[in-house]
């Protein structure tokens, strides 16, 4: 961290030389832009926040009682601020024109075409935003890159802006990556571990960093605000997600060893996490990580390393995503193996489709991969998730990425709103998301309406497996092998 710059910024904040940000605009009303700007509006009643999006449907939802994303605490924040100093609209031009500071929070998916296909980040949405800003902006604007983007993306934004600058218009581009995790977004925004602000190393750049710092100062203590170079800021975001994903892949790799040797991955994770240098967070073995960031950012890191001829670095991070693929496939194969090597025409009740609990988001959800594998083998799936909409599940499982036979898949999937109905006549229950409500179900009642032997595959390690075995379920979970004696109890000596 550059202490000189930080001191300089703090001084300028108190010297009265600031431009005073009164209007903030955010382009992109998604999982990042929506919650982030809602919290800014909530914590900064003196700032007017205008969130815009090209999608009319999305904005309509932000202005309704049913917000487009499910996030604990978000409804309350939006209700308090909407119409006061928080506004949602499709009027991108007006919002950009009025704003002193513009966040770009549009999606940056992996490219699905051309050079870097499947790995490089697709910057077309970011580029369109930069061109739009250049087209309509007046006066001085601070443009803040908030989407996860490859290193040096801020440079591309600056390039587009400066190549199209009109007289009387000037820009400063900052990087301010978002570290919110879905399901805990409001908590993460209100009490962040740190806020990164990357800017150009010039007086103008430092002044812009000072303006954004001032916004965060409304609720974030100074020691948590880290200022650094734009490139370091961008790379820190990719590196943080890569490190987190690596922890999940590491414990998942150990889970395979546990299953093969009889060790229990929960015990191993506990023991390993007790080392204060390692720490206990993010050591929950699972069916694999999902979400819009981990896979995309890892592949992006791999692509950047390859482009820089750093092959060993690329191969190192590639392994983290390969291990994730291995874990998902391994779990699906284990289900098939346990069900006497065939799931054709068998009914499996799937609990959970979101990539983690407390969100309705299914992007890169391990559920999509496990379900697709089972569908490929001819299984009928009764799917229940407390928050994911029916259409989302259907479109995820019938998309070109998931299957080459969408009509066949459509016939094999049934979406339920009641988990007890989903298990009726099912051969097995498969848990793919760690929703708390799954722990509260009456599994005795479920067992009574299932086909026997009834199987339960816990891909999230959330249930009490001994109790399930005692009830009579043949139970399988990640990173633990039940002894033959335990399983004999569940089958009444029939193994
Ligand atoms: C992540 C980062 O945490 C966040 O900082 C960044 O801004 C965006 O990407 P998110 O993807 O929303 O956030 O959720 P996260 O809690 O990180 O979980 C990602 C995936 O890893 C989920 O599928 C989760 O179930 C899985 N996971 C997480 C595990 O399997 N085990 C763990 O111990 C932790
Ligand atoms: P993230 O998880 O990064 O927030 P989302 O897909 O949830 O991604 O949200 C991104 C939002 O950005 C979408 O609502 C999309 O309509 C919007 N968007 C993408 N490109 C533009 C653009 N050029 N102008 C305005 N909005 C855009």
pLDDT tens for each residue of 42-98: 999 999 999 999 999 999 999 999 999 999 999 999 999 999 999 999 999 999 999
Q: Which residue in the list 25, 26, 129, 293 is annotated as catalytic?
A: 293
Is 26 assigned a catalytic role? no
Report CA(132)–ligand 1 centroid distance (Å): 33
The model's pLDDT over 227-250, given as tens digits with 9 standing for 90+, comes to 999 999 999 999 999 999 999 999
- Indicate whether residue 290 lines ligand 2 (CB < 6 A): no
Substitution site in 286, 297, 354 for ligand 1 pocket (most atoms within 8 Å of beta carbon): 286
CB environment 443-471: b (16+ within 10 A), e (fewer)? beebbeebeebbbbbbbbbbbebeebbeb
- Indicate whether residue 25 lines ligand 2 (CB < 6 A): no
Judged by its nearest atom, the ligand closest to the C-alpha of residue 91 is 2
- Indicate whether residue 302 lines ligand 1 (CB < 6 A): no
Instruction: Judge whether residue 347 has pLDDT over 70.
Output: yes
481 assigned ligand-binding residue = no
Average pLDDT, rounded, for the chain: 92
Report CA(183)–ligand 1 centroid distance (Å): 10
Report CA(289)–ligand 1 centroid distance (Å): 7
- Of all protein residues, the one whose alpha carbon is nearest to atom 13 of ligand 1 is 181
Instruction: Judge whether residue 166 has pLDDT over 90.
Output: no
The model's pLDDT over 246-303, given as tens digits with 9 standing for 90+, comes to 999 999 999 999 999 999 999 999 999 999 999 999 999 999 999 999 999 999 999 9
Instruction: Judge whether residue 13 has pLDDT over 80.
Output: no
- Of all protein residues, the one whose alpha carbon is nearest to atom 20 of ligand 2 is 125
If pLDDT is split at 50, 70 and 90, which confidence band does 108 have? confident
Helix crossing, 311-338 with 230-261: angle to 10°? 40
Host H or E run for residue 408 = helix 406-412
Judged by its nearest atom, the ligand closest to the C-alpha of residue 362 is 1
Report CA(353)–ligand 2 centroid distance (Å): 22
Report CA(327)–ligand 1 centroid distance (Å): 16
Instruction: Judge whether residue 125 has pLDDT over 50.
Output: yes
If pLDDT is split at 50, 70 and 90, which confidence band does 3 have? very low
Q: Residue 17: what pLDDT? A: 52
The model's pLDDT over 351-366, given as tens digits with 9 standing for 90+, comes to 999 999 999 999 999 9
Q: Residue 15: what pLDDT? A: 41
The model's pLDDT over 418-455, given as tens digits with 9 standing for 90+, comes to 999 999 999 999 999 999 999 999 999 999 999 999 99
Instruction: Judge whether residue 467 has pLDDT over 70.
Output: yes
Region 20-49: what's the mean pLDDT? 96
If pLDDT is split at 50, 70 and 90, which confidence band does 106 have? very high
The model's pLDDT over 174-226, given as tens digits with 9 standing for 90+, comes to 999 999 999 999 999 999 999 999 999 999 999 999 999 999 999 999 999 99
- Of all protein residues, the one whose alpha carbon is nearest to atom 15 of ligand 1 is 181
Q: Residue 488: what pLDDT? A: 55
Report CA(317)–ligand 2 centroid distance (Å): 27
Instruction: Judge whether residue 320 has pLDDT over 70.
Output: yes
Q: Residue 7: what pLDDT? A: 39
> pLDDT over 90 for what percent of the chain?
85
Q: Residue 20: what pLDDT? A: 84
- Indicate whether residue 289 lines ligand 1 (CB < 6 A): yes
- Indicate whether residue 129 lines ligand 2 (CB < 6 A): yes
Instruction: Find the range with the poorest average confidence among 150-159, 322-331, 441-450.
Output: 150-159
Instruction: Judge whether residue 12 has pLDDT over 80.
Output: no
Which long-range CB contacts under 8 A does 236-240 form with residues at least 24 apart?
236/177, 236/196, 237/148, 237/177, 237/178, 237/179, 237/196, 237/297, 238/148, 238/150, 238/151, 238/297, 238/300, 238/301, 238/304, 239/301, 240/179
- Indicate whether residue 30 lines ligand 2 (CB < 6 A): yes
Substitution site in 148, 186, 244 for ligand 1 pocket (most atoms within 8 Å of beta carbon): 244
Determine the Cα angle at 285 with ends 279 and 288, to 5°.
Answer: 120
- Helix ranges (H only) for 32-100 are 33-43, 56-62, 74-81, 92-98
Q: Residue 10: what pLDDT? A: 43
> pLDDT over 70 for what percent of the chain?
94
Instruction: Judge whether residue 130 has pLDDT over 70.
Output: yes
- Indicate whether residue 291 lines ligand 2 (CB < 6 A): no
- Indicate whether residue 420 lines ligand 1 (CB < 6 A): no
Within 10 Å of residue 123's Cβ, how many Cβ atoms?
A: 19
């Amino acid at each position: 961290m550059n202490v000189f710059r930080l001191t300089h910024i703090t001084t300028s904040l108190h010297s009265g030389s600031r431009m005073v940000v009164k209007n903030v605009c955010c382009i992109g009303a998604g999982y990042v832009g929506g919650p982030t700007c809602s919290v800014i509006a909530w914590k900064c009643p003196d700032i007017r926040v205008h969130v815009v999006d090209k999608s009319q449907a999305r904005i309509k939802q932000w202005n309704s009682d049913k917000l487009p994303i499910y996030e604990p605490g978000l409804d309350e924040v939006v209700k308090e601020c909407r119409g006061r100093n928080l506004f949602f609209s499709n009027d991108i031009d007006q919002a950009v024109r009025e704003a002193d500071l513009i966040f770009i929070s549009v999606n940056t998916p992996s490219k699905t075409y051309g050079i870097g296909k499947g790995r490089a980040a697709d910057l077309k949405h970011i580029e369109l935003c930069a061109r739009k800003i250049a087209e309509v902006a007046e006066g001085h604007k601070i443009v803040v890159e908030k989407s996860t983007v490859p290193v040096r993306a801020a440079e591309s934004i600056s390039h587009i802006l400066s190549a199209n600058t009109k007289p009387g218009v000037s820009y400063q581009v900052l990087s301010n990556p978002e570290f919110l995790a879905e399901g805990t977004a409001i908590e993460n925004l209100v009490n962040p571990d740190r806020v990164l602000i990357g800017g150009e190393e010039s007086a103008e750049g430092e002044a812009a960093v000072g303006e954004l710092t001032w916004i965060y100062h409304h609720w974030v203590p100074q020691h948590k605000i880290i200022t650094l170079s734009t490139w370091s800021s961008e790379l820190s975001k990719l590196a943080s997600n890569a490190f987190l994903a690596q922890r999940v892949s590491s414990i998942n790799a150990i889970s395979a060893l546990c299953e093969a040797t009889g060790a229990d991955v929960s015990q191993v994770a506990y023991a390993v996490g007790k080392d204060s240098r390692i720490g206990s967070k993010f050591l929950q073995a699972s069916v694999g990580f999902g979400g819009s960031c981990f896979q995309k950012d890892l592949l992006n890191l791999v692509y950047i390393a390859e482009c820089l001829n750093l092959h060993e670095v690329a191969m190192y991070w590639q392994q983290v995503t390969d291990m994730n693929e291995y874990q998902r496939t391994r779990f699906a194969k284990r289900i098939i193996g346990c069900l006497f090597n065939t799931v054709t025409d068998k009914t499996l009740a799937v609990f959970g489709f979101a990539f983690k609990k407390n969100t309705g988001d299914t992007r890169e959800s391990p559920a999509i991969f496990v379900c697709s594998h089972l569908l490929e083998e001819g299984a009928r799936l009764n799917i229940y998730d407390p928050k994911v909409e029916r259409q989302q599940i259907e479109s995820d499982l019938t998309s070109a990425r998931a299957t080459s036979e969408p009509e066949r898949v459509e016939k094999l999937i049934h979406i339920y709103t009641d988990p007890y109905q989903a298990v009726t006549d099912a051969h097995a229950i498969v848990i793919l998301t760690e929703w708390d409500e799954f722990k509260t179900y009456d599994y005795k009642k479920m067992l009574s309406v299932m086909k026997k032997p009834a199987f339960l595959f816990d891909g999230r390690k959330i249930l009490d497996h001994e109790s399930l075995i005692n009830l009579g379920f043949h139970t399988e979970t990640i990173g633990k092998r039940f002894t033959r004696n335990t399983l004999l109890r569940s089958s009444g000596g029939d193994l």
